[in-house]
Chain A
Amino acid sequence: MKLDWWTIGLQTINFGILVWLLHRFLYKPVLTMIDARKAEVQRQFDAAKEIEEKAKAQLAGLEADRAAIATERDATLGAATVEAQEMAEAGRAQAKRDAQALIDGTRKTLAEEREKALDEARRLALDLGADFAQRLLSEIPTQYRAEAWIERIEHYLNALSPAERDPLVRQLGDGTPLTIVTACTLPSATTEQWKERLRRSLGLSGGMTFEVNPDLIAGAELHFPTAILRFSWQSSLLAARTEVSADGRSR
């Protein structure tokens, strides 16, 4: 076997040329493209990394905001709870005060109404008593009823001091008659007897007139020009009513 050195040399040159051709048309463009793709991938990766970092930062911000919101919510809820408790306490206190005021007002109203009812009952009792008394008195003869009252009047006038009796007498000095008002019409004998005994007790010399007022129930009234001496059950009942009313108001 013999080596063809020309062929060896030509094949060596051919391989060198092929190396250049493939470097020119294959390796260089392919490697350039691969490098560009890697660079693009790296750029996109970096961009994605940057976006991820931003997203993480935003997430951290949102977490912080959420934590702040939760804290604020807790604080607000706490404040609202305290405020609600205070309002409830105030409402309870106000309701207690209102209820106490209502109870007090009701008690006062009840007391007033009870007092009014008692007054009314007393007044009715007095009226009833006066009515009974008037009915009973109507069964007693007039001269007996008058005898009792003239004795009382006479006793009262005799008990007056001159300083009390003289001003009364002076009112009748100019001829003005003394008016005697009785609850019923007195018989003429009783009338004369009353005049006699009153002239003696008061030291009068003038005239006297008699009038009738059934409202007196029993007894009589001596009407001077500027004064009235009352000796009737009407005045006694009026005094009793006044005392009962005064006693009721004092309780």
Chain B
Amino acid sequence: MQPSPLTSAVLFHLGPVAITRPVVTTWIIMAVLALVCRLVTRRLSMLPDGRQAVLEGIVTAIMGQIEDVVREDARQFLSLIGTLFIFLVAANLSGVLPGVEAPTGKIETPAALALIVFFSVHYFGIRARGLIGYLRSFAEPKLIMLPLNILSEITRTFSLMVRLFGNVMSGEFVIGLVVALAGLFVPIPLMALEILVGLVQAYIFTVLATVFIGAAVGRVAK
């Protein structure tokens, strides 16, 4: 029986834990990102070279985007939001490499990221407003909105997950089908489009997560 392309292929087991391909790809991405960052930031100087300038540009751009949305000091959200964006870019674009499947093309990785965003929103909301104040915010502007607000917390997290998974997975499917039907070089425009889609989806996921966190801390209207 042909396995479903939506399921993650198990590469090996560590005891009872099945290590799937997205996990291994994620480890590789983590290693590459950490190594690159370590190499570039090992010797920083007051007058930055090209690589340092690129890294500083990325970090300051992410901070600027966070501050534009949250209207607060971006440093407290930088580690989560910045890592989310950088990982999503790397993960989405990894599918372009031959023989590599994007981790975000399987449902487990977007689900894990959506869960992290879901719990982070509540963490930052409670930290900013206190538990009672944060729970009271679900009954705003009217008490009747309470069930809808609770439901929206779940649905928006679900939509966050499905949007990312659907776009990346569909792109890979289309490229795979075109390669199977038309040949080696025909899907190149589609691959370029997939790069664009990967970048856009990383941006959308990150901005939505930022908006959710901003709403939780009270700086953005729900």
| Chain A residues proximal to chain B, CB less than 8 Å | 1-4, 6-12, 14-19, 21-23, 25-27, 29-34, 36-37, 40
User: A1-B107, A22-B79 known; A8 and B18 CB under 8 Å?
Assistant: no
Which of B37, B52, B80 makes the CB contact (< 8 A) with A19? B80
The contact of B22 among A11, A12, A30, by CB within 8 Å, is A11
Q: Which of B9-33 contact A (CB under 8 A)?
A: 17-20, 22-23, 26-27, 30, 33
Cα distance A33–B38 when bound, in Å?
14
Interface string of B55-87 (1 = CB under 8 A from A): 110011000000000000001001110111011
Chain B: interface residue total (CB-CB under 8 A): 46
- Please give, as numbers and ranges, the residues of chain A lying within 8 Å of B108 by CB-CB distance: 3-4, 7-8, 11
Docked complex Cα distance between A108 and B8 (Å): 145
Tell yes or no: B151 within 8 A of A by CB. Answer: no
Binds A, one of B111-119, B128-136, B192-200: B111-119
Which A residues are CB-close (under 8 A) to B30?
A: 14, 17-18, 21
Contact sample, A vs B, 11 pairs, CB 8 Å cutoff: A4-B18, A7-B18, A7-B20, A8-B111, A11-B103, A14-B26, A15-B84, A22-B79, A26-B41, A30-B41, A33-B56
Contact across chains for B113 and A26 when beta carbons are under 8 A apart? no
Task: Tell me the smallest distance from the CB of B50 to a CB of chain A, in Å.
Answer: 15
Is the CB–CB distance between A4 and B7 below 8 Å? yes
Chain A residues within an 8 Å CB radius of B4? 1
Q: Is the CB of A29 within 8 A of B44?
A: yes
Residues on the A chain within 8 Å of B60, using CB: 34
Report yes or no: B56 in contact with A30, Cβ–Cβ below 8 A. yes
Q: In chain A, what residue has the closest Cβ to B29?
A: A18
List 3 A-B pairs, minimum CB-CB distance, nearest first. Answer: A11-B112, A7-B108, A25-B37
Chain B contacts for A27, CB-based, 8 A: 59, 78-79, 82
User: Given A1-B6, A7-B20, A40-B46, is A31 in contact with B75 using a C-beta cutoff of 8 Å?
Assistant: yes
Q: Are A6 and B7 in contact (CB under 8 A)?
A: no
A21 and chain B: residue at smallest CB distance: B34
Q: Which residue of B lies closest to A15 (CB)?
A: B116
Chain B residues in 8 Å Cβ range of A8: 108, 111-112, 115
Residues of chain A lying within 8 A (CB to CB) of residue B56: 30, 33-34
CB distance from B53 to the nearest CB of A (A): 11
Asked if B109 is an interface residue, CB under 8 A from chain A, the answer is yes
Nearest-neighbour CB distance to chain A for B25, whole angstroms, equals 10
Interface residues of B in 130-172 (CB under 8 A from A): none
Kindly provide the distance from the CB of A200 to the nearest chain B CB, expressed in whole angstroms.
156
* Smallest beta-carbon distance A105→chain B, Å: 95
Residue of B nearest to A13 (CB): B112
Kindly report which residue of chain B lies nearest to residue A30, judged by CB atoms. B59
- Chain B residues near A4: list those with CB within 8 A: 7-8, 18, 20, 108
B112 → A minimal CB distance (Å):
4
CB-based nearest A residue for B106: A7
Contact indicator B7/A2 (Cβ below 8 Å): yes
Most chain A CB inside 10 Å of its own CB: which residue of B26, B27, B86, B116: B26
Indicate if the CB atoms of B7 and A11 lie closer than 8 Å.
no
Question: Do A22 and B83 touch across chains, with their CB atoms under 8 A apart?
Answer: yes
Distance in angstroms from B130 CB to nearest chain A CB is 25
Rounded to whole angstroms, the CA-CA distance of A9 and B37 in the bound complex is 25
- Indicate if the CB atoms of A37 and B46 lie closer than 8 Å: yes
- Chain A residues lying within 8 Å of B75, measured Cβ to Cβ, are 31
Say whether B46 contacts A36, CB under 8 Å. Answer: yes
Chain A positions within 8 Å of B37 at CB level: 21-22, 25-26
Select A31's contact among B23, B27, B48, B59, beta carbons within 8 Å.
Answer: B59
Q: Is the CB of A18 within 8 A of B46?
A: no
| Chain B hits for A23, CB < 8 A | 79, 83
